[in-house]
Amino acid sequence: MSSTPHNPTGEYQPESVIGLPALYRWPPRPMAALNYLFYGMLFPWGYLYIGLAFVGWYLLTPELASMRQFQAGWIAQIWLRNAALLILVAGGLHWWLYMRRGQQRRYKYHDQWPASDNRIFLWGNQVRDNVFWSLASGVTVCSAYEAITFWIYANGFVTPPTIADYPVYFVICLWAVFFWGTVHFYCVHRFMHWQPVYRVVHELHHRNVNTGPWTGISMHPLEHLLYFSVFIPLWFLPVHPVIIVLLSLYMSVGPAPSHSGFNFVEIWGRRFIAGDWYHQLHHQYFNFNYGNTTAPLDKLFGSWHDGSRDSLRAQKERKRRRRRTAV
Ligand SMILES: [Zn+2]
Ligand SMILES: [Zn+2]
């Protein structure tokens, strides 16, 4: 299987530039838009999270009735479920791509392996640092928001609609999770790049220029507090509990493949899209691509970098001009 184009240092760069999803093109192309909604946007990872959300709610989450009072037992069960699913996906990808090196450096964006002797990371080790922030802070804050959401539903402040009574609403909610998650991410992330906040908070995530699966939610606890506030609308808008678990998975596990550091992962002789070239460019250049392509707000606000040299040049020029006007 070809893995070109790799540049002379061995870094992989997708050949094509990043375009707007068909959903947003004008004039409308209905079939291409549908293809994006059902395939481009969700295959394979979105479908995996939807499947895991059913498993997570029906098999791994306590009964709603048992969550009327905040108690350590059921809250711990939610934490353990979230940690286990993150370990399954992030740990699985890390094992295959970085420990077993199952595909060597094929499709790897960066020519280096993760740092194991760099003092900017806890214990000088990038992977241990990333695992620590992801589990100790990321999973904990995510589980806390999820626990509050379930407590609200368990006490009847919000009544969850059943799938049988509202099947169409349920399906709309499935898609809405992905759009809402990306819009919310853009807003929080844009704020994180405000210099005073960046220096104290977001810098922790950006220590990872050469990202890996555990980098996904390796963030400062204050960033986690804002990042997982994505649950708050569900405190007022009734959704089925599967949707709550799906949102949790999309926000906590979703960043693992998108930070995997590899554009494709090869399993059983097939290759699946793994990395997110769009977000990888953000880790490389910092001031572009704050959101992602599902909700292309960067296009709207002029910070879209499509991966081409022309785009980079245009963005740099734009920044220079802005600085000159500010002086
Ligand atoms: Zn990132
Ligand atoms: Zn950033």
Distance between Cα 288 and ligand 2 center (Å)? 9
Alpha carbon distance 225, 191 (integer Å) = 13
Distance between Cα 286 and ligand 2 center (Å)? 6
pLDDT of 9:
65
- Give the chain's radius of gyration (CA, Å): 20
User: Which residue type, as a one-letter code, is found at position 280?
Assistant: Q
2 falls in which pLDDT band (50, 70, 90)? very low
Q: pLDDT digits over 51-87, tens only?
A: 999 999 999 999 999 999 999 999 999 999 999 999 9
Range with the poorest average pLDDT among 6-20, 82-96, 272-286: 6-20
Distance between Cα 190 and ligand 2 center (Å)? 8
The pTM of the full predicted model, rounded to 2 decimals, is 0.94
Query: What share of the chain has pLDDT > 90, as a percent?
Result: 85
Task: Work out the average pLDDT over 18-26.
Answer: 94
Q: Phi/psi of residue 179, each to 5°?
A: -70, -45
Using alpha carbons, select from 272, 255, 253 the residue that is nearest to residue 264: 272
Distance between Cα 189 and ligand 2 center (Å)? 6
Q: Which ligand is nearest to the CA of 209?
A: 1
326 falls in which pLDDT band (50, 70, 90)? low
Residue 198: CB atoms within 10 A of its CB come to: 15
pLDDT at residue 266 is higher than 70: yes
Q: Which ligand is nearest to the CA of 213?
A: 1
Residue 267: CB atoms within 10 A of its CB come to: 13
11 falls in which pLDDT band (50, 70, 90)? confident
Token readout for 296 is: 């292309």
pLDDT at residue 315 is higher than 90: no
183 falls in which pLDDT band (50, 70, 90)? very high
Place of tokens 């460019």: 281
Task: Work out the average pLDDT over 237-246.
Answer: 98
The set of residues, in sequence order, having a beta carbon less than 8 Å from that of 136 and lying 6+ positions away, is: none
Alpha carbon distance 84, 78 (integer Å) = 10
162 falls in which pLDDT band (50, 70, 90)? very high
Query: What share of the chain has pLDDT > 70, as a percent?
Result: 94
Distance between Cα 273 and ligand 2 center (Å)? 22
DSSP tag of 40:
I
pLDDT of 1:
41
Alpha carbon distance 253, 146 (integer Å) = 14
Task: Work out the average pLDDT over 36-50.
Answer: 96
Q: Which ligand is nearest to the CA of 189?
A: 2
Distance between Cα 159 and ligand 2 center (Å)? 36
Of 85 and 307, more confident: 85
Q: Which ligand is nearest to the CA of 259?
A: 1
The set of residues, in sequence order, having a beta carbon less than 8 Å from that of 296 and lying 6+ positions away, is: 20, 21, 24, 304
The set of residues, in sequence order, having a beta carbon less than 8 Å from that of 78 and lying 6+ positions away, is: 61, 62, 143, 146, 147, 150
Of 8 and 295, more confident: 295
Distance between Cα 205 and ligand 1 center (Å)? 7
Distance between Cα 276 and ligand 1 center (Å)? 10
Do the Cβ atoms of 262 and 108 come closer than 8 Å? yes
Distance between Cα 291 and ligand 2 center (Å)? 9
Distance between Cα 296 and ligand 1 center (Å)? 16
Q: Which ligand is nearest to the CA of 192?
A: 2
Range with the poorest average pLDDT among 10-14, 35-39, 118-122, 132-136: 10-14
Distance between Cα 58 and ligand 1 center (Å)? 31
Q: pLDDT digits over 276-300, tens only?
A: 999 999 998 888 999 999 999 999 9
Q: Phi/psi of residue 20, each to 5°?
A: -65, 140
Q: Which ligand is nearest to the CA of 287?
A: 2
Task: Work out the average pLDDT over 143-172.
Answer: 98
Distance between Cα 302 and ligand 2 center (Å)? 16
pLDDT of 103:
95
Distance between Cα 289 and ligand 2 center (Å)? 9
Distance between Cα 37 and ligand 2 center (Å)? 26
Alpha carbon distance 57, 274 (integer Å) = 25
Task: Work out the average pLDDT over 202-222.
Answer: 97
Alpha carbon distance 18, 293 (integer Å) = 9
pLDDT of 5:
64
